[in-house]
Structure 1
């Protein structure tokens, strides 16, 4: 019995030894096979992505943008040149249009950013009954078309709006007391109402990443609310807040619906000027030149937004 056991043990040891000797090459072969399969799969994914880019992005995005740039470089007689850009920037009204556009963008996005951050801080640090409902409503609000906000303000605060008529009847006025919507004031108000929620969500996400022990430690050391907000909360949440603010500036720059509804003949912004050049004046090269200028401004803001958002993601890790 003992010899049989020894033979079985010896045979088992021999088999185990042979398996151990054979396992490293097999493991290496399996690893190489898995790597080759992963590389083939990655190449296939890249080919699929290129195919999607060619079939979908090509005719829908790349080709129209290329045609836009080529059209902006086309002269009045079909020659290649910068005539459209010269006509655009040499127009005395162009400086006023760009200045008006930037003024409205900075006023609207600036006020919307401050209001959005303040509302996010209130919802996060001072929660109250119904705060969750307001947060969900703000998330839903960003799905609304912007021109609906403009029409809502007209129905409420226009010269024939319900609030204006109620005030006129209440105080026995001969004329409606509210008549500011069709101009810079109405545009800024509508854009602030519409784009402030776009800042609330990134600000809330940034506040949620703060280690609240730091806030409690600052309070325990005697810091008041302003000191905590300025010295603790703001530096930690600043990347997310900055990303939301830049996104607000980008969306406000590209806004068209509110401008078309509430803008007047004396308040021409860059999107409206491009639209008028293309549809009213039928000057497509000049409209294309203005569109390329606006596209360059938008891409610059988007690149800045991506840089800040990438820093926030790296900081969160």
Structure 2
């Protein structure tokens, strides 16, 4: 933001304020409105310079510059180093595979749990809902360690099965790898889908559901033709949020991912800490940033429709 671009709106606002003050025919409401506009401009400038600038704008700009900086100036060599390796295709396929599998299963599970809690309440359903709301505050690596203590080779469940089946080797040996990561991410991210889905279900007109049932529609027809078309904004918002969080997950991958399970976050971390190539790490981070922002914009659009529908 240049000095002239900042000065021109300020000068215009100041001249308008002076003119209004000298003109007795200007309504008081107009004076107050222009003062609020001037105060809002200064507040926005303060946020840009002192709040958003140091912690968001400057790091993002620095990241962009690093991603296109080579040994002799501006260059796309960092992108070539990051994506030009023989494992780049495998890294992207692994990332997308885990993303689609984990977020897809977590979304289906979250919607199913929300439907059970709302349409088939049972003793303890309210307590379970409160627990799921609290569960989203847990760190992701805590879920990974909990699964290790239960289902790892030396976990309590694995040892109990070995003793019960009289085995010399614990039977459960799947946790450190792709399916262990998928299990942990499904457990951790499914509650993020439950809450917005429950909010959508709460807005449903139960008379429509009762009318559909009275006309002979079974449960599947009611769900597909009545509930889903009316509740899809909240379900879509929760699903997109689940995909966004799963894409950026790193703690579970760090704990349960084996050396052969390399995703984009792991590759970026490896480029920065092992290879000490900050430019290549920045190139990978820019790709992840673009994917995350795209999902976030989609989430905002769907969530805005949900909010507009709620406010009606």
Normalising by structure 2, we get a TM-score of: 0.90
Shift of 1:257: 0.2
Distance 1:109 1:96 in 2: 19
Q: Which sections of structure 1, spanning at least 5 residues, go unmatched?
A: 1-28
Distance 1:299 1:78 in 2: 30
Distance 1:50 1:196 in 2: 40
In the alignment, is residue 195 of structure 1 matched against residue 189 of structure 2? yes
Q: 1:220 aligns with which of 214, 218, 236?
A: 214
Distance 2:282 2:182 in 1: 27
Aligned to 2:69: 74
Aligned to 2:29: 34
Distance 1:210 1:46 in 2: 41
Alignment of 1:155-170 (within 5 A): 155-170=149-164
Aligned to 1:25: none
In the alignment, is residue 141 of structure 1 matched against residue 135 of structure 2? yes
Q: 1:88 aligns with which of 73, 76, 82?
A: 82
Q: 2:289 aligns with which of 292, 295, 299?
A: 295
Once the two structures are superposed, what CA deviation does each residue of 1:149-185 show, in whole Å capped at 9, x if it has no partner?
0000000000000110111111110101101010001
Distance 1:270 1:174 in 2: 38
Alignment of 1:1-317 (within 5 A): 32-75=27-70, 77-316=71-310, 317=312
Shift of 1:112: 0.1
Paired residues in the alignment total 288
Distance 1:231 1:206 in 2: 15
Q: Which sections of structure 2, spanning at least 5 residues, go unmatched?
A: 1-23
Shift of 1:30: 10
Once the two structures are superposed, what CA deviation does each residue of 1:117-169 show, in whole Å capped at 9, x if it has no partner?
00000000111111111000000000000000000000000000011011111
Q: Which moved more, 1:243-252 or 1:163-172?
A: 163-172
Shift of 1:216: 1.0
Distance 2:179 2:38 in 1: 54
Distance 1:262 1:31 in 2: 68
Normalising by structure 1, we get a TM-score of: 0.88
Aligned to 1:22: none
